[in-house]
Amino acid sequence: MVKAIKLSVNSRLGLEARRMIKHHTTTVLLFSHEEPTRVLLGLHKKLQVWLPPGGHCKETENPLETAIRETLEECGINISPYLPKVQRIDEYADRIPNQQYFFEELIPEYEGKPAHKHLDYVYVVYIPYQQFQYPKGEYEDMRWLTKEEIKHLPHYKNLDYELDQNW
């Protein structure tokens, strides 16, 4: 079944798109428990759009480890206590908790870097509302935002989908 779905998806893409380099990435949607519900987004300096924390997986990380590292680096929040735990199956295998969404995203050519794909593992995490710190180099601003506030800010359409599914 998976193979058939993969072929179906690939048949809609041109040969060039199928041969693109693919990078594994994570995105972390951090929702606050308190009312009104808010999500933490940052205004990315280069892209000039509001994005949740996330980034590229290192070769030594699984997507869950990347989600934890990127959230800590980008906003100073440790999400580990709010995530399901990794389960040891035996000496050869661990069960890693699933992400909530998985997107294949086309990343256009930018500043001389060729177009490529992101295989994005999206984690949804509910945490208590809290203060955060963001690196000034990567973001111009970062805020807890309501759904209404996000409507008026520049962001990618897949964020609307993710928010609609979880708000």
Q: What is the pLDDT of residues 128-162, one digit of tens each?
A: 999 998 877 789 999 999 999 999 999 999 899 99
The per-residue pLDDT for 5 is 39
Please list the alpha-helical segments (H only) found in 63-107. 63-75
Distance CA 54, CA 151 (A): 21
Q: Which two tokens stand for residue 106?
A: 């086309």
Residue 108 has a CB neighbour count (10 Å cut-off) of 8
| Mean pLDDT computed over every residue of the chain | 89
pLDDT of residue 4: 37
Mean pLDDT on 18-38: 92
Give CA–CA dist 156/21, Å, rounded.
21
Record the pTM: 0.84
* Strand positions, DSSP E, the chain: 22-32, 39-44, 50-51, 54-56, 87-90, 93-95, 101-107, 116-127, 139-145
Residues 6+ apart with CB under 8 A from 51: 27, 41, 42, 44, 155, 156, 159
Which CATH number is 20-166's, of 3.90.79.10, 3.40.50.800, 3.40.50.720, 3.40.50.10470? 3.90.79.10
Phi-psi domain of 36 (left: phi exceeds 0; alpha: psi -120 through 50; beta: other): beta
Task: Give the tens place of pLDDT for each residue, 79-125.
Answer: 999 999 999 999 999 999 999 999 999 999 888 989 999 999 999 99
What are 139's two structure tokens? 């973001």
Alpha helices in the chain (DSSP H): 2-12, 15-18, 63-75, 147-151, 157-166
